[in-house]
Structure 1
């Protein structure tokens, strides 16, 4: 199996938690190293990995096949563009970019140079989302009438990460948590006809958006997307109502928490939610009304890296494409326009 030599552009939380463990354990990847500006930590966890002193040094390494842009959002476009121009395949963290124009330019650049460009929307491989998608794929709720996806937390404190709380093009909950659930909605339901958005600042001393409520308009149904930091008692994170029945599912994926504890991912006993987080299905099948608990599928981010490997090594489509990233940015830009003008925005 060909090894895809990969370098990170940061070895902070995202590099240490969401990327390095999978790159190190996946048989198709080799973690070559990371750009580290001050602290030199990657070698402590991965002795064979190299610490690059600069982006230039990293991009000049002719042995690298893939660069992962896991730096603050406002840097994504510049760093991804430099990596593509250096002939590297690129994986970009969410949010993909800060504007639709930037996303379109990166997409065109990757195509022009015959390179793979993917977006790290790992939440498609969460246990909760995979289970919701399975229920919808079974078509047992009937014609969909409405759906809600929430990413709610209770955390009134500002983040210690400066780039998350200063006024910059990549800051705010809409580009952060919003990128995840917008991508999930588009994966489940496709691109909407229009949207209406309410974006707010609710925390004391915050200067970036920390609440949003988006309503996506489809021809025969609506999808609401919400996130905020003042939800001490959360509703189910997925609420789907069809003409035959409903499915409710809480957010229960355990992968992030286990990775933060230093647990190593595996393919057999990984991403298993506790039973009490299972979803509730109440619908009608063959004229019989059923109300039952639906077993939760295993979450596993390995599946994303499997798809990324196939894309780079064997020419398959990226597991999350640049066009997927463009589509999320179209929703975000339209939401900002809608909130600013207090109006419905059509596509």
Structure 2
């Protein structure tokens, strides 16, 4: 990775799970970037990990810090769009942890504001740089199984006890469809573009659950069908990807290990970072199997791309229209659950054209 001559200074709002586990380590491990400040009500928690970091006690104070070039928002979901709007009005570049907003209307308003701001807007869809997804994408792009006609993507876990945290509360922005849905949807749309219709089933399966903890969503692409699924009651795990094509199938069982490595304290870029020992299984038209080594994952590539985009040397890693398209599916999923039927994707012609341009 190359770096510009002077470091780009980032301020991180929020030092909970996302900020502490993902953003801070990835930023600090990316050459050319400097994590210069954190906004947190718990300065002691921040200083336990980052003793020399500047801590602001409020998001507003961090946004007003004129020493910062970029504001990274890693707070509860219902605060993403309001804080991003404040930072854009202050002229900062903005990175929002997914989801970018609570609904499509809020997302559209934010994109419109970014269009008028000197700062640029991006959303942290970090799982574009996961080993499991990259292995499947590489095989599909190489026409390994012909045209992919059935695609399943699962993020399944076994967490039967409901935890006392905002992600599992009854509040706005809680639930598995907001939490894991954006990852699943963004990967699908990077592979296949915009679906025609969305048919979602959401449920709360765990005793004492306050928000959805099971999501099974079908994205219709004409004859091609894409299923994205997330659950908290899958003991032993499930296959991460299953893809059936016109000349064979792909199976990726093991998931990317970067989150586990971060939780274990591994520094991004250290020996073994992003390595995936689980190969991709390819089954040809005759039923013969062979293995392809998994591609190493590296979520630092999001922040490296952000650095290069700010320097004017590369496109933005996730554009506002790509994030807006994800929110369109999330929004349609909630509406489909309420109405009990498949619904068309709620994007207008201009948004569809902008999405197509962003992917080209």
Shorter-chain TM-score range: over 0.9
| 2:218 is the alignment partner of 1:215 | yes
- Alignment partners' CA distance in 2, 1:27 and 1:155: 36
Equivalent residue for 2:279?
278
Q: Unaligned 5+ residue runs, structure 2?
A: 346-360
- Alignment partners' CA distance in 2, 1:148 and 1:123: 16
Equivalent residue for 2:206?
203
Structure 1 stretches of 4+ moved >3 Å: none
Equivalent residue for 2:172?
169
State the Cα distance separating 1:234 from its structure 2 match.
3.2
Deviation string for 1:213-264 (max 9, x for gaps)? 1111112210111111111143311000001000000242111111111111
Alignment length, in residue pairs? 341
Scaled by the length of structure 1, the TM-score of the pair is: 0.94
State the Cα distance separating 1:315 from its structure 2 match.
6.0
| 2:310 is the alignment partner of 1:312 | yes
Equivalent residue for 2:348?
none
Contact persistence 1:148–1:223 (CA under 8 A): yes
- Alignment partners' CA distance in 2, 1:295 and 1:165: 36
Of 261, 265, 270, 2:268 maps to 265
Contact persistence 2:309–2:315 (CA under 8 A): yes
Equivalent residue for 1:150?
154
Contact persistence 2:239–2:254 (CA under 8 A): yes
Scaled by the length of structure 2, the TM-score of the pair is: 0.91
Contact persistence 2:29–2:300 (CA under 8 A): no
Q: Unaligned 5+ residue runs, structure 1?
A: none
State the Cα distance separating 1:289 from its structure 2 match.
7.0
| 2:160 is the alignment partner of 1:159 | no
- Alignment partners' CA distance in 2, 1:86 and 1:159: 36
Give the RMSD, CA atoms, in angstroms.
1.6
- Alignment partners' CA distance in 1, 2:25 and 2:344: 42
Correspondence list, 1:173-192, <5 A:
173-192=176-195
